[in-house]
Amino acid sequence: MEDMRTVFEAAGGMGGLTRLAEAWHRRVMKDEVVAHAFSHGFHPQHVERLAAYWAEALGGPGIYSDSCGDETTVVKIHSGNGEHEEMDRRAIVCFDQALVDVGLAEDGALRTVLHDYFAWATRTTMARYHESANDVPDGLKIPRWSWDGPQK
């Protein structure tokens, strides 16, 4: 990839990712299937925490790890709810629509890398422990994603 900026920078930094998190959250709350995931409530700073998590994953500052927790914390929140492929599929559609809402879909390379990251995270790391949150190992680190996909 020719772009020397991080995906975080290309997406508009914290401001851009916060707008994306707000747009995604608005869309999922209107989706009768995905909204069910939030039916038991959610953290009052969910949007800000989501933006900080995405920022860290996409090459930005480690705000999420420094103030909210590690990957184990995030994965446990998303675990133990059984398989939910339809919910995941619809959450990804909401994400793609949110990219359009905030103007991040106009750059094809950026749209693709953000879609690929969100779809990957939704279908792998967040869906890996569908039987029980107790199965999530301690000490997981937030996976990093670049223009070339997941980083080792």
> What is the token pair recorded at 69?
């927790």
150 phi, psi to nearest 5 deg: -65, 140
How does pLDDT run across 104-118, given as a tens digit for each residue?
999 999 999 999 999
Low-confidence ranges of the chain (pLDDT < 70): 1-3
pLDDT of residue 112: 98
Q: Biggest alpha carbon distance in the chain?
A: 44
Look up residue 116 and give its amino acid. D
Give the pTM. 0.91
Half-sphere exposure (Cβ direction) of 129: Cα atoms closer than 13 Å: 18
Q: Which domains does the chain have, with CATH numbers?
A: 8-150 (1.10.490.10)
How does pLDDT run across 115-139, given as a tens digit for each residue?
999 999 999 888 888 889 899 999 9
pLDDT of residue 37: 81
Instruction: For residue 34, give every residue at least 6 positions away whose Cβ sits within 8 Å of its Cβ, in sequence order, or none.
Output: 28, 87, 90, 91, 94
